[in-house]
Amino acid sequence: MNHTKLFENIVKKQSFLCVGLDSEREKIPAFLHKKKDPVFEFNKRIIDATHKYAVAYKPNVAFYECYGSKGWISLEATVTYIKNNYPDLLVIADAKRGDIG
């Protein structure tokens, strides 16, 4: 993904929508907790429901880090899913630190 492609998507979709993927396990529907990777399954549903309108996705790395290695696996699965299924969409890693308080 480059700036030109991002701009083309913004114009084509008439959208600046960047979807945050800040997935907290407590907010994931109960039926998804039965899946092998509930966080990824939740993200996948959000991505599939919004890809027509979104030009980018922004997972917040801290939400995944707090789950240890399972969180990193969920993050990798999420990014891979976007890249494989919606390659024209930008993925931005929100990995800032010290922005609260």
pLDDT per position as a tens digit, 73-86: 999 999 999 999 99
Q: What total number of domains does the chain contain?
A: 1
pLDDT per position as a tens digit, 37-68: 999 999 999 999 999 999 999 999 999 999 99
Helix %, strand %, coil % of the chain (to 5) = 55, 10, 35
Specify if 99 maps to a domain.
no
| Global confidence as pTM | 0.89
Catalytic residue among 35, 52, 70, 96: 96
In the annotation, is 83 catalytic? no
Specify if 55 maps to a domain.
yes
Alpha helices in 14-101 (DSSP H): 38-50, 61-65, 69-85
How far are the Cα atoms of 52, 75, 97 from residue 34, in angstroms, in the given order?
Answer: 28, 18, 32
CB 57 within 8 A of CB 48: no
Specify if 43 maps to a domain.
yes
- Answer yes or no: is pLDDT of 25 > 90: no
What pLDDT does residue 2 have? 76
Q: What is the mean pLDDT of residues 19-47?
A: 95
